[in-house]
Structure 1
Amino acid sequence: MLDEAVVTEAVARIAAGLGERVGELTGEMVQLYATELPNLVNDDESVVSLLAASLFQNLDTAMRIFQHGIDPTRVEAPAAAMEYARRLAQRGTPVIDLIRAYYLGQTAILNHALAEGRDQIRDPDLLGAMMQRALTGAFAFIDRVTQQVVSAYQEERDRWLLNRSAVRAARVRELLKGGGGAEAAGVETSLGYRLRGTHLAMIVWHAVEPAQGNALGALESVTAAVAGGLPTSGQPLLVPADERCAWVWFPLEKAVLPEEEHVRRVLDSAESTVRLVLGDPGEGIDGFRRSHRQAERVHALAVTAGEQCERALTFRDVGTIALMTSDLAATRSWVADILGPLATDDEQHERLRETLLVFLATGGSYTAAAARLTMHKNSVQYRVRKAEETLGRPITDNRLDVELALKVCQRLGPAVLAAP
């Protein structure tokens, strides 16, 4: 069995040798990135110099860890590495490029360590033990440093977005308050967004503080993903309303909403805290404002309804409800008056409400409702009859109110339902 002290001495000897070549290895890393991550190298000279400084300091720190037996989990990321991460955040470089750079570097340096080990160590068991120690230590070091630099990146990205957007946000707020369209030409230049044409407004936000702390970055990602399902004529305009909420406008080639399935996939891939609402498409500056006002009404509805509300809502689907639910307590009371016990928050009554709503939406056709619900016609008849018994009156007595109350229950759920 190998003596641990012998393994430690071998690792320290290899690290000392590589430590004398840190300048040379830094140059090799820059060339590696030129091939694998060219956007990191084909950049402003000052940024590339900062990259080289970050590489040099990281390599020097890593070699000292192995040479002197320092615990890698207690090491702080070098100053140049932290500053380089912040600079990438300011320039909008994807964080995945930063992470990949570290793991590419780790692989290259471990290959150098293996080559040095083969030259110096003849005992295969000692060579294997040395490389195992090097691999474990290198992973611990990279894991520790990447956590710190990614955190610095995310914090700087949020700060940069807020600062960069301050003037843009002020312009947008002025535009939303304005009454005419004469100011369009000047505002378009400052916003980098064309106000003529068709616009679709969205409000996207975190319902609670996100666990990972990269609030605005997550909202940017969701915005880009939603845009992927729309016929856009340019980049969306995103303006942070605060640290957890953003206003968005999509420039459209034609007046459409994204498919529900597309939005669902986007949200399924996003953080669970993210919610979004959409207005209706509108033309020109008036449409820019009107679509946003619609999104604001639906946003107020979603916030009032709380966490039980659906994660995505549109003005087209819930506009009427949004206009009538500024007083949620009054809405809950009205739903109880219209639906009675049918507005109970349990599985049995939910099934009855769903069946009755589809029955009404299909024009009172048992056959059509059965096809949409993939149920037997007799089962639909039974549920509709049970729903009427629960209501205590035929649905024809106040059909419009019943249908609207059912839609309110469907969208707002427990916020307007009675406890069982």
Structure 2
Amino acid sequence: MEIGDARVSEQVASVAASLEPRIVKLASDIRDLIQRDIPTLDSDPALSSLLGASVEENVVTVVHMLRHGIVTAHVEAPTAALEYARRLAQRDIPATALIRAYRVGQARFLRHCIDELLDQTPGEHVEGASTQWMVEHVSDTLDRVVEQVIAAYESARERWVHNRSTVLTMRVRSVLAGENVDLTAAQTALGYRLLQRHLGVVLWADSTADHDPLEHLDRVASALAVAAGSPQDPLFVPCDETSAWTWLAITPAAVFRRDEPQAVLAEHEPAVSIALGEPASGVDGFRRTHLQALHAQSVALAAGPHHAPVTYFIDVAPVAMMCADIESAREWVKETLGALAIDSERNARLRETARVFLQTGGSYTSTADQLFLHRNTAQYRVQKAEELRGRPLREGRLGVELALLACHWLGSAVLQHGSANIAGPYRSVMDRSRGTT
């Protein structure tokens, strides 16, 4: 049977139609495999999110091509795929990692196609020709897309290498990597003293929010330095087109109030997000406060588009460790909080009351004062939270506090959607504790 046979075209279209409703799931599977096989592409939360978008748009493109018999010469690389290539170039990640990602993704996608084909054609001969058709067309399509994204990568890399800030970025990355650098030469090149007290900050903006996000972020960084009473300009290092790393020089006498970053943001539009480490001294402190700021950023990114505009590492340190494996964190939160982990407005109020209750040492009065509630209301909410959990809040208290903290910062990313799978068992635990059956 020839590849151009009408039966083959119909069979391929049928496979694509079956895959179409599962595009999001397929893309997630392919993204996870790429990140497992290519660790270089799994080192940054922001890039991970863009990788997911790139994979999904590529899957949509290929499925659409298969279903409608589109000629590969007419295929255009998806916007997210081109943007992902540019970001990798700006992060100095080799093009070989990007090319390998496409090969890994292609193999995984074809496996899904062939599995679906075999399910649809038991005992028929059409599967051989259909498989051949899909392999040839998917390969042609991806070759065309790879050609375009590599062109975008090389173009962006060339611009980035010639950017005046590139030398600065390379110097900073050398210090962060712990390389044996000439301290005097590094400080001269950076225009910033490394043997002082630093506050690491990560700033990022919506890529569509401003025609020149980096210039806007630079202004915010300067405003933060003024608010912190810094004796010099901040060290500002572009990370990519929409994010930057910053170090503020902090004097021993400086008082940097927690509300200062929020006040700075209120005076700067469009929206910017800020993640801050803890002040630390010397070269080691330069690295440590920066790493803490990156961990704080990972919490904000994991929380989704509605994250807090300012995130302090000291507030989210335990939660930051959970961001490395959100799926496991979600399961652990469910096991720890039971039905209290269900995502609803009512449960959100109960969780917040429970969090403050444990934070204040189990004081209903202090809880009511902090949340501006009547004491009886605070007590009622704690009781309801315990009923949903199926156990007292003080049982496994440390775990409960961490789970509630994760819910507070990560929101729906670690919550359960729907109640059928967890509400029943925990309700029965409460029933048994009351002597009912």
Larger radius of gyration: 1
Partner of 2:391: 393
User: Which whole-Å deviations, capped at 9, do the CAs of 1:121-140 have from their partners, x for residues lacking one?
Assistant: xxxxxxxxxxxxxxxxxxxx
SS in 1 for 2:398: helix
Partner of 2:346: 348
Alignment of 1:183 with 2:182, yes or no, is yes
Separation in structure 2 between the aligned mates of residue 179 and residue 319 of structure 1, nearest angstrom: 27
Aligned CA distance change for structure 1 residues 306 and 201 (closer, same or farther; 3 Å): same
Separation in structure 2 between the aligned mates of residue 372 and residue 253 of structure 1, nearest angstrom: 33
Matches within 5 A, 1:6-405: 163-178=163-178, 183-206=182-205, 208-254=206-252, 258-405=256-403
SS in 2 for 1:217: helix
CA RMSD of aligned residues (A): 2.1
Consecutive unaligned residues in structure 1, runs of 5 or more:
1-158
Separation in structure 2 between the aligned mates of residue 243 and residue 343 of structure 1, nearest angstrom: 37
Aligned CA distance change for structure 1 residues 395 and 334 (closer, same or farther; 3 Å): same
Separation in structure 2 between the aligned mates of residue 415 and residue 257 of structure 1, nearest angstrom: 34
Percent identity, aligned pairs only? 43
How far the C-alpha of 1:188 sits from its partner, in A, is 0.7
SS in 2 for 1:325: helix
Partner of 1:72: none
Separation in structure 2 between the aligned mates of residue 327 and residue 290 of structure 1, nearest angstrom: 22
Partner of 1:149: none
Consecutive unaligned residues in structure 2, runs of 5 or more:
1-158, 419-437
Aligned CA distance change for structure 1 residues 371 and 337 (closer, same or farther; 3 Å): same
Instruction: Provide the TM-score with structure 1 as the length reference.
Output: 0.59
Separation in structure 2 between the aligned mates of residue 339 and residue 241 of structure 1, nearest angstrom: 38
Moved more, 365-374 or 296-305: 296-305
SS in 2 for 1:277: strand
Separation in structure 2 between the aligned mates of residue 386 and residue 233 of structure 1, nearest angstrom: 52
| Structure 1 ranges of 4+ moved more than 4 A | 159-162
Matched residue type, 2:363: S
Instruction: Provide the TM-score with structure 2 as the length reference.
Output: 0.56
**Does the 8 A contact of 2:265 with 2:271 survive in 1?**
no
How far the C-alpha of 1:414 sits from its partner, in A, is 1.4
How far the C-alpha of 1:258 sits from its partner, in A, is 3.8
SS in 1 for 2:394: helix
Aligned CA distance change for structure 1 residues 350 and 288 (closer, same or farther; 3 Å): same
Matched residue type, 2:193: R
Matched residue type, 1:232: S
How many residues are aligned here?
A: 260
Separation in structure 2 between the aligned mates of residue 220 and residue 280 of structure 1, nearest angstrom: 21
Separation in structure 1 between the aligned mates of residue 371 and residue 301 of structure 2, nearest angstrom: 30
Moved more, 304-313 or 383-392: 304-313
Separation in structure 2 between the aligned mates of residue 368 and residue 336 of structure 1, nearest angstrom: 27
User: Which whole-Å deviations, capped at 9, do the CAs of 1:316-335 have from their partners, x for residues lacking one?
Assistant: 11111112320111111111
SS in 1 for 2:362: coil
How far the C-alpha of 1:296 sits from its partner, in A, is 1.7
Matched residue type, 1:320: P
Separation in structure 1 between the aligned mates of residue 353 and residue 162 of structure 2, nearest angstrom: 47
